[in-house]
Amino acid sequence: MKSAKYSCNTRSETLEWITAIIDFLKPYSFLINAHVVNFFKDKQWEAVDQEWMSCLRDEKPENILLIPSGGVQDHWPASLKEFVHTLRSLSFPREQADLQAILGDVDMAPLSTVLSQGMNLKKKHEVEVLSSVVSSVANSVGAPTVVDVGAGQGYLAQVLSFQYKHSVVAIDSSSHHGKVTDARAARIRKHFAAQTRKSGSGNNCPDAPVTITCRVLSTTEMLKGLTNLHLEKNDLDSNASTLSNCPRRPQSSTDANRPCSLVLAGLHACGDLSVTMLRTFMECKEVKAIVSIGCCYNLLSEKSNENSCSQCGFPMSIGLKSLGFPLGKNARDLGCQSAARWSSLGEDAGLQNFELHSFRAAFQMVLSKHYPEVLATSPSIGRQGKALRRQQQRKSLETPAIVDAIRKETDEKKPTSKTSLNSDDACSSFKNFCVSAFSRLNLEHPQDLDLSATWNEVNAFTELIGPFWSIRAALGPVLETLILLDRLMFLQEQGDSIEAVMVPIFDPTISPRNVAIIAKRL
């Protein structure tokens, strides 16, 4: 895969792409390191090209939301269009790839209702696609066992086991997840056994491999320990509670000399867990291939000075380490933004999004003036904005005819400057937001606190928060590309014995973290 201008087929090409990203990002550190909650407090709009902000303050919200995915309008300043287009060219393509064309023997089968029970649409899409990819990779390297790292409730492991007939070890640090996995696997196994008996094949279900759950914290040493086990169908007890307790079948002299071939698979293994998988693949020759889809870059450990651990999650590659480009938590947070999802929002949802950002940033002003000691702790007020948005969406779904009529009337009377609420309604909503936020922070709401004054102070600048947020969010795909290219180059630096590719395997509007790193030993 490649962008319009760059490729990552070789180590030198990947390094060239990484260098271009770093050179472009350096002048925009003020955007990368900004936190939108401080938008009003720090007057962040003043740091952005004023021609850009002047143009975008009156732009339609749906057009502004297209910026992170590369959308521009003809009447925008040339420098803004160049900024967006350059970011687009530096970002790894996210459109779902033709897996058959890239990976070859991928036989994607729809999940049965039994296997997909309990999955939402996103999870079903991810498991359906990834299981077919992992099965194809496992077959291509001749590995009998797949290790599902960070297995959660075992959805991927069970599909690989029951549908694709692989021996599977499902590893998760949560004992609760292990119990859920075992219970679900037992129900599925019972269903397959009943089908087998009904077909007259006997009382057993020989074609349904056992899913093995080892409830451990997934570290490199623990993953390495799996290579000492001879894992074949029905070899291990699926109720093994820890890796060290996994029973081993008696080995003959022939068994002792036979290598145990594994494939590591991870569906959104968080933070450093994806990095651990890559390092384990390189350190254990018994691991023949890896299929890794990372997420939660904000949880990555990062090397910040010469004394930091060499096993940090970022950077991994020698090439990026030599360039000395730190990210920091705000940048890693930004790398988790979903351009595809924001671009799919309509005007109403876009306005609600910007409005909630305004409320949170204005509340930061309240904390700054009246609760500086709380502000120093970087307070989090939870996901009340998303909860409010869901409530509004539910109301819209309950009364579609009324909403359509209101929208039609609003469109006919819509002013040039876009605001979703009039000034009085916005102020009232901000007060409600603050009351909820005070409750979340266990703070008393002083009766003499004039929240209206705070809102009136920032109200003139609320129309700038959407453009600022979108311009900053446009850096997200490039930052994620940098993190992914670092991982790819780490593999490429190991020499010709490793074949590694990056492939967007999911529909990005359904699953934004959709890039899989697939590597095999040659």
pLDDT of residue 212: 53
Residue 401 lies in a domain: no
Residues 451 and 365 in one domain: yes
**Last residue of some domain: 457, 474, 491?**
474
Residues 183 and 299 in one domain: yes
What single-letter amino acid sits at 195? Answer: Q
Model confidence at 218: pLDDT above 50: no
Whether the CB-CB separation of 488 and 14 falls below 8 Å is answered with yes
> Quick one: 128 and 275 in the same domain?
yes
Q: Can you give the pLDDT at residue 437? A: 92
Number of domains in the chain: 2
Per the model's pLDDT, the better-predicted residue between 268 and 231 turns out to be: 268
Which 8-state DSSP code applies to residue 147?
Answer: E
pLDDT per residue as tens digits for the range 282-298: 988 999 999 999 999 99
| 483 DSSP assignment | H
Across 353-360, average pLDDT:
92
- Residues 450-494 pLDDT 10s: 999 999 999 999 999 999 999 999 999 999 999 999 999 999 999
Both 269 and 155 in one domain: the answer is yes
Q: For residue 439, what are the domain limits?
A: 11-90+342-396+421-474
pLDDT digits (tens, 9 = 90+) for 407-438: 344 344 333 344 455 677 889 999 999 999 99
* pLDDT, tens digit (0-9, with 9 covering 90-100), for 246-271: 333 334 344 444 557 899 999 998 88
User: Is 337 within the bounds of a domain?
Assistant: no
Contacts of 427 (CB under 8 A, 6+ apart): 451, 452, 455, 456, 459
Query: Please, which pLDDT band fits residue 308 given cuts at 50, 70 and 90?
Result: low
239 belongs to a structural domain:
no
* Domain shared by 294 and 160, yes or no: yes
**CA-CA-CA-CA torsion sign (305, 309, 311, 312):** negative
Does 109 score more than 80 pLDDT? yes
Residues 463 and 491 in one domain: no
Q: Where are the beta strands (DSSP E) in 39-91?
A: none
- Bigger pLDDT: 193 or 323? 323
6 within some domain? no
Q: Do 206 and 349 share a structural domain?
A: no
Strand order in 145-149's β-sheet? 211-214, 167-171, 145-149, 262-270, 287-295, 515-521, 498-504
396 SS3 class: helix
Q: How many whole angstroms separate alpha carbon 324 and alpha carbon 327? A: 10
268 near 294, Cβ under 8 Å?
Answer: yes
DSSP 226-293: HTTS---TT-S-TT--SGGG---PPPPHHHHTS---EEEEEEEEETHHHHHHHHHHHH-TTEEEEEEE
Whether residue 69 is contained in a domain is answered as yes
Per-residue model confidence (pLDDT) at position 188: 83
189 and 321 within one domain: yes
Residue 348 lies in a domain: yes
134 and 223 part of one domain: yes
Distance (Å, whole) CA 513 – CA 293:
7
pLDDT one-digit tens code per residue, 188-206: 888 878 877 777 665 555 3
Q: Check whether 223 has a pLDDT greater than 70.
A: no
pLDDT at 291: 97
Q: In this predicted structure, what is the pLDDT of residue 37?
A: 92
**Which of 112-116, 183-187, 197-201 shows the highest mean pLDDT?**
112-116
User: Residue 262 pairs with which residues in a beta bridge?
Assistant: 145, 287
Looking at the predicted structure, is the pLDDT value of residue 245 above 50? no
How many angstroms separate the CA atoms of 458 and 359, rounded? 10
Q: 433: Cβ–Cβ under 8 A, 6 or more apart, which residues?
A: 356, 359, 360, 363, 384, 388
Cα–Cα dist 182/210, whole Å: 10
Does the residue 3 lie in any domain? no
Mean pLDDT of 130-140: 95
Counts for the chain of helices (H) and strands (E), in that order: 24, 7
Asked whether residue 327 is assigned to any structural domain, the reply reads yes
* Contact between residue 354 and residue 465 where contact means Cβ atoms under 8 Å apart: yes
Least-confidence region, from 256-270, 318-332, 442-456, 500-514: 256-270
351: confidence class by pLDDT, cuts 50, 70, 90: confident
Kindly state whether residues 162 and 72 are assigned to the same domain: no
On the question of pLDDT at 321 being above 80, the answer is yes
Q: Are residues 273 and 387 in the same domain?
A: no
Considering the domain architecture, whether residues 460 and 492 belong to the same structural domain is answered as no
In the chain, pLDDT over 70 holds for what percent of residues? 78
3-state secondary structure of 208: coil
| E strand or H helix at 31 | helix 29-32
Q: What is the mean pLDDT of the chain?
A: 81
CATH number of domain containing 127: 3.40.50.150
